[in-house]
Chain A
C-alpha cells in the first residue's frame, strides 16, 4: 500500500476534503459557532499554542493519562494474574469485577471527583479504572492459554509451578498483555478527559468545557484535533514497544 502513488493520492484526498470544507463554510456563510472553517481552527490552534495555554493544559492531560495508564495496567496485570492462577479468587472476586466493569465509568466520574477532589488524583483514578479492565481480561486469557504440550514438557523436567509461570506462562501471555496495553492507553486518555469534564482546574477536557460555555467552537475543534493526534501518537508508542517485545510472535510479522 505504501507506494509513492498512494501517498500522493492520500495527501491529495486530505487537502481536497479540507478545501471542500473551507469552501462550503464560506459559500453558505455558516456562522463559526455552528461549524468553523478549517482556517479558523488552524488559527485557534496557533493562538492556543503560541500563548502557551494549550501546552500547559496538554501537559496536565498527558500526565493524568500516563499515570492512569500505569496504575490501571499494573492493577489489571496483578488482578488478572491472581484470577488466572487461583480458582478461589476467580470464584469469589471475578463476578464483582465484571459487575463493576459493566457500570458506565462516565456515571462514576462525578462520585470520584467528589471523593478525590478537583486535582490530579481524581483524574488518575478515573483513567486507571477504565484502563485496567482490558489488561485484566487479556492477562487472564494469556496466562491460561499456554500450550498443554509445552506445559507437559516443562513439567517433565521436574519444573515447579513457579518456574512454569515465569518460564512459560508469562512470556506466553505477552502478546495478549501487549494487545491489552494498546487498548488501555486509549482508554486512559478517555478516562482522564471524562473526569476533566466533570470537574477540574486544568486539562484539555476542562478547556473544551469552558470553550463550550463561551461558544468558542473553533477552539473546541482545535482541541479535538490535538486529542486525536495525541491518541494516535500514544497508540504508536505502544505499538513500537510491542513490536520490540514480541519479535517472536507470528502476528507481528
Chain B
C-alpha cells in the first residue's frame, strides 16, 4: 500500500463559545497522495482554516484522526511548510534572514542552506532583494518571500491558507502562475485553501468543496485539465464546466462570498 501524504478520517472539531458548542468540522474524511496539488474551496467560516491548523499541528482535533505521511499528527513537525494569508514576515530580519527562519529554528545550519535560500529567491524573482527588509517590498513580493521561507527546509508538503487572498487580482494571477511553476519543478504535495473557485480549478489536480456550519466536504472533484496551464485556460468551456459545477453546489447549500 502506498502511504498517503495526508489521510484524514472522520475528523471533527468543536469549539466551545459563550453560546454553547460550535461544530467547525463534522466527520471529515479524505486522502491526498504524495505530489498531489489539492485545493479546498469553501465560504468563510466553513472551517477550512481550522482544518489547515489541525494538519499543521497547531490545533488538536476533537475526534477522529489525521495522519501525515503515515504518522499521526501530534503537534508541529519539520517536514511541512506553512503559508498564511498574510506574509507574516519578521520586520527586523532581512529578506534572506526571513527565508532562513526555518533553518534557524530547526538548527539545520545556515552554511548548508544559504545557497538553497538564494536559489529559491532567484526562482521567485527576488535575487536582488535578499538584503532588503520586508517593509521595503510590495505585498506580492512579501508573499513570495513567505513562499520561499516555506520551501527552504525542503519540506515534503506545503500547507497554504488563502496565500493570495490579500493580493490584488493582477498580482494574484501572476502568483498563481508562479506557484504552478514552482510546484511543477519541485513536485511537493500542496494543500491549498482558497475561497476563489477559479483559483482552485486553475491550480489544483483535485478540488475538495466544503460547506459551512457544520464544515463538511460535499464534493471531491478531479480537475482533468492539462499542464502547464496558462491564464487563457480560464476562458475555455472545460474550465467553465468545473467552476459552474462547484458554484452549483454552493447555490444549493447557500451563498459563497466570492
Q: Please give the distance in Å from B147's CB to the nearest CB on chain A.
A: 13
Q: How large is the interface on A (under 10, 10 to 19, 20 to 34, 35 or more residues)?
A: 10 to 19
In chain A, what residue has the closest Cβ to B86? A149
- A156: chain B residues within 8 A (beta carbon): 56-58, 76, 80, 82
In chain B, what residue has the closest Cβ to A171? B92
A250 interfacial by beta-carbon distance below 8 Å: yes
Pairwise interchain contact A158-B91, C-beta atoms closer than 8 A? no
Pairwise interchain contact B76-A157, C-beta atoms closer than 8 A? yes
In chain B, what residue has the closest Cβ to A249? B91
Q: Please give the distance in Å from A4's CB to the nearest CB on chain B.
A: 32
- A163: chain B residues within 8 A (beta carbon): 105
Partner of A167, one of B76, B77, B104: B104
- A40: chain B residues within 8 A (beta carbon): none
Q: Please give the distance in Å from B250's CB to the nearest CB on chain A.
A: 28
Q: What's the Cα separation between A157 and B78 when bound, in Å?
A: 6
With A155-B76, A156-B58 as given contacts, are A248 and B92 in contact (CB-CB < 8 Å)? yes
B84 interfacial by beta-carbon distance below 8 Å: yes
A168 interfacial by beta-carbon distance below 8 Å: yes
Pairwise interchain contact A152-B84, C-beta atoms closer than 8 A? yes
- B53: chain A residues within 8 A (beta carbon): 152
Pairwise interchain contact B77-A158, C-beta atoms closer than 8 A? yes
Pairwise interchain contact B92-A158, C-beta atoms closer than 8 A? no
- B56: chain A residues within 8 A (beta carbon): 156
B15 interfacial by beta-carbon distance below 8 Å: no
Within 8 A of B (CB), among A152-206: 152-159, 163, 167-168, 171, 174
Pairwise interchain contact A168-B90, C-beta atoms closer than 8 A? yes
Q: What's the Cα separation between A163 and B56 when bound, in Å?
A: 18
A150 interfacial by beta-carbon distance below 8 Å: yes
Q: What's the Cα separation between A150 and B92 when bound, in Å?
A: 13
Q: Mark A113-154, 1 if CB is under 8 A from B, else 0.
A: 000000000000000000000000000000000010110111
Pairwise interchain contact A159-B88, C-beta atoms closer than 8 A? no
Q: Mark B78-103, 1 if CB is under 8 A from A, else 0.
A: 10101010101011100000000110
B113 interfacial by beta-carbon distance below 8 Å: no
With A248-B92, A248-B135, A250-B135 as given contacts, are A158 and B78 in contact (CB-CB < 8 Å)? yes
Pairwise interchain contact B58-A157, C-beta atoms closer than 8 A? no
Q: Please give the distance in Å from B41's CB to the nearest CB on chain A.
A: 22
- What 15 new A-B contacts, CB under 8 Å, besides A152-B58, A156-B76, A157-B82? A150-B88, A153-B82, A154-B101, A155-B58, A156-B80, A157-B101, A157-B102, A157-B106, A158-B75, A158-B106, A159-B105, A167-B104, A248-B133, A248-B135, A250-B135
16 inter-chain pairs at a CB distance below 8 angstroms, sorted by A residue, are A147-B88, A152-B58, A153-B82, A153-B84, A155-B58, A156-B76, A157-B76, A157-B102, A157-B105, A158-B77, A158-B106, A159-B76, A163-B105, A248-B92, A248-B135, A249-B91
List residues of chain A with CB under 8 Å of any chain B CB. 147, 149-150, 152-159, 163, 167-168, 171, 174, 248-250
